[in-house]
Amino acid sequence: MYSLKSFYHSLLNYFLKIKNTEKCQFLTHSKIDKSCIFEGYNSIGENTAIKNCSLGNGSYIGKNVEFSGVKIGRFCSIGSFIHNATGRHPSSVFVSTHPAFFSEKRSGWFTFCNKQKYQELKYVNGGGYLVEIGNDVWIGDNVLLMDGITIGDGAIIGAGAIVTKDVEPYSINLGIPSQKVKCRFTEEQIAFLLKFQWWNKDWNWIKENWEMFEYIENFIKKFKL
């Protein structure tokens, strides 16, 4: 006999064709588009809606999040009430900012254009994602991510920030617009972590060595390349 959880995962597998759902949890009223990809051990919070997104191993998203076209690395901690802005409007040259004058799409149910005259979406590296979040990234509550940005491995985005540009690895960023306030570790320690890439280690390796994650200095001494 199916448990309610098993039945829900079966429905997800059947209708959405999502892999590794047996290692994931999807909380009440979460909405997952069939284009989403889960690597495993992921969690999607209550009332969160994601479309065309991917989550690496161990990453989770809090409640009331709206993501479209976001690639999330491994072991990321994504807070609640976060969304990424999709769609840009011209702020100079064009007389009006209304999409009816530059977009062939029917925004507001009508358009005057028969061809696209302005790039509304800014994809990262010309790929299929509007935002790319690295590995081991922590994003606090009530953050807005503008399209076209990359957040480096190990970075922290403080609550309430608006991220308008790329974020350096292992940096701490606060404010509107967000600014780097300091780095989490020394330059040498950051260089080691970016080269070592512990998040790409085998899952069993991480389980066996998890206690070493408590102190950066001890971690580097043990696993120095």
- The answer to whether 148 and 123 have CB atoms below 8 angstroms apart is yes
d(CA 51, CA 62): 15
Residue 66 is which amino acid? E
The tokens for 206 are: 């991480």
- The answer to whether 151 and 137 have CB atoms below 8 angstroms apart is yes
Residue 29 annotated as catalytic: no
Q: Which position among 9, 29, 83, 89 bears the catalytic label?
A: 89
| Orientation angle between helical segments 187-196 and 216-223, nearest 10 degrees | 50
Mapped to the 3 state alphabet, what secondary structure does 120-175 carry? CCCCHHHCCCCEEECCCCEECCCCEECCCEEECCCCEECCCCEECCCECCCEEEEC
- The answer to whether 98 and 113 have CB atoms below 8 angstroms apart is no
Task: Give SS3 for 78.
Answer: strand
**Burial state string for 136-175 with b = 16 or more CB within 10 A and e = fewer than 16:** bbbbbbbbbbbbbbbbbbbbbbbeebebeeebbbbbbbbe
Q: Which residues are catalytic?
A: 89
